[in-house]
Chains A and B, each alone.
Chain A
């Protein structure tokens, strides 16, 4: 019915139109093609620029750059391992905190919340995304870190609670891998929530009605009809959040402690790839130092690509299982 109407309309409109122009269509195709290629070229240029900037360091340190834990600008010894470790741990920690929060928020907003409360919450979540990261960082230093130190860290460190676990050992200063992960979580909450909400909204109502018709409870409807239907899209939302988490710089730098060490404890300081570039690039005077920082950028570029590839592979497995019932 709908198709027929559209076809009818286009026929009538076509009567008034000039003869179809091959040139206009071609031009349109080419313009959009050029635009699309710009993105590709930009990525290639970034990669090329980073590689050429880092070439000296790559030659000098070779593969050892990725496995060395040494970062010593005075003796010109550079290794990226503690930074790679810090980037991955802080990002996944952020996901660990943010994903349950975001998806629960999205479920509440789409499935359960009464109308009058829905819009205010949506607006507030979106406002969270608008806070500049340096402001979040300052809030982190002056509010979040002292609070973390006083309550959660004190609780976790207590030997009767989780103090026996290597994840929560060692001296605590407040600024830590945990604080870094927590601040990233705050920053990626809005994007995961918004995207998840869009995906849950797009789940057809037929799904829910069918489940209710079978006598499912609200929780069962959400679990069986909504979440399993939307899981591929939700996974995509999480990946978007992870992409942001890997590159977060300023706020993380302000609360993570900036110490290039690999420690099992989440309460001890760490360092990330993005942070070390932001911190040291402006005052790096020697060639090797600059090249090493470029190579750090290259590593961050590669880590982002690898993580996205893995995510894509996982996504393909998911969609294989759900036989194309996906909503992304």
Chain B
């Protein structure tokens, strides 16, 4: 595990490479390296390395942040390992990393294991879309109950009256529905099942929400690419993928009925609208599926950084807080370019206040 953590470093400017080498080569050689490093300026000596591990969903934006932040503060370097939310929670609980990351809020049971008070810092949010493969370019509209019934196996044909009612004027084919879900545990599945549990009682009772669940019907495919590949190849298939993946691969996806009764197509703006409408408790462990708001897209979820309120290492703690503040400011403006939804201003203010409470 340690070897894994150390093996990857975020791309960094040249002088950081030099100081990294310093740690690994024998002591005899370090003198000459020091002399070389001196040529790059004193900053290279004081460089701190802050490590984190966890969720893979926000990995693209986090690595962008760490790269950009290296320009803002060259004296600190961030290493991030996208080993999955489960790994992120485990690592931060074991204090083997300076911060963790997770696509779902930690359970009370896991939080109780933490040696100190662990803060949830929401960073960005994303959406999950329902994608399908039907002959012709049908633009479908669905609601939560119908999606749940399809994934429960109660609706098994595309010409089912429940689907027809939501799509007046659309000729639906007489075709079996083939359900495709993620086989690997993932934050995407968590958000999707969280949504279905919220909008459909039967789903909540029979299946529930988790990164992996006992799917009543359908095939498991690995990753967003597996699900979309399987959907593309199977006429009549339905599946769910991350919005980012759907946008970048130009997949067709359904408009969904939100809590206000409006049909909304997924977009980063729709997710930010959902964040604005969602009720967010003080510990930031919230679910934002089916949030109220005219423009709110219903199947969306946030991702969190996990940080101890009392930082053990003062120098690292200070740098970490500086970075988090930067992320909530300049960092958030980069989200949209990568198709993530930034936090709304009201929530950002609250998060910033929480960040300033971190002690070091």
Residues of A within 8 A of B (CB): 70-75, 141-142, 145-146, 171, 173-175, 253-254, 257-259, 269, 271, 275, 278-286, 290
A283 to B222, CA, bound (A): 13
Residue B9 at the A interface, CB < 8 A?
no
Residue numbers in B under 8 Å from A145 (CB-CB): 233
Count residues of chain B with CB under 8 A from any CB of chain A. Answer: 38
User: Are the CB atoms of B234 and A174 closer together than 8 Å?
Assistant: yes
Asked if A73 contacts B214 (CB within 8 A), the reply is yes
Of B86, B104, B106, the contact of A281 (CB 8 Å cutoff): B86
The complex places the Cα of A50 from the Cα of B104 at a distance, in Å, of: 27
Do the beta carbons of A258 and B219 come within 8 Å of each other? Answer: yes
12 extra interchain contacts, Cβ-Cβ under 8 A, other than A259-B220, A283-B85, A283-B187?
Answer: A73-B213, A141-B229, A258-B222, A279-B184, A280-B184, A282-B84, A282-B184, A283-B211, A284-B185, A285-B86, A286-B107, A290-B86
Known: A141-B229, A283-B212, A285-B107. A259 touches B86 (CB 8 A): no
- Tell me the smallest distance from the CB of A169 to a CB of chain B, in Å: 16
Smallest Cβ distance from B61 to chain A, in angstroms?
A: 19
> Which residues on the B side are within 8 Å of A271 (C-beta)?
220
Query: Which residues of B are in contact with A by a Cβ distance under 8 Å?
Result: 56, 83-87, 89, 104, 106-107, 109-110, 176, 178, 183-187, 207-215, 218-222, 226, 229-230, 233-234
Contacts A/B (CB < 8 Å), 17 sampled: A74-B209, A75-B208, A175-B230, A254-B221, A254-B222, A258-B220, A258-B221, A271-B220, A279-B184, A280-B212, A281-B185, A282-B84, A283-B85, A283-B187, A284-B212, A285-B86, A285-B110
Residue of A nearest to B234 (CB): A173
B226 touches A141 (CB 8 A): yes
Across the two chains, which residue of chain B brings its CB closest to A250? B222
Interface majority SS (helix, strand, loop, mixed), chain B: loop
Nearest CB on B from A260, distance (A) = 8
**Would B208 and A74 count as touching, CB distance under 8 A?**
yes
Could you tell me if B229 and A285 are in contact, using CB atoms closer than 8 angstroms?
no
CB distance from A71 to the nearest CB of B (A): 6
Interface centre among B185, B215, B234 (most CB of A within 10 A): B185
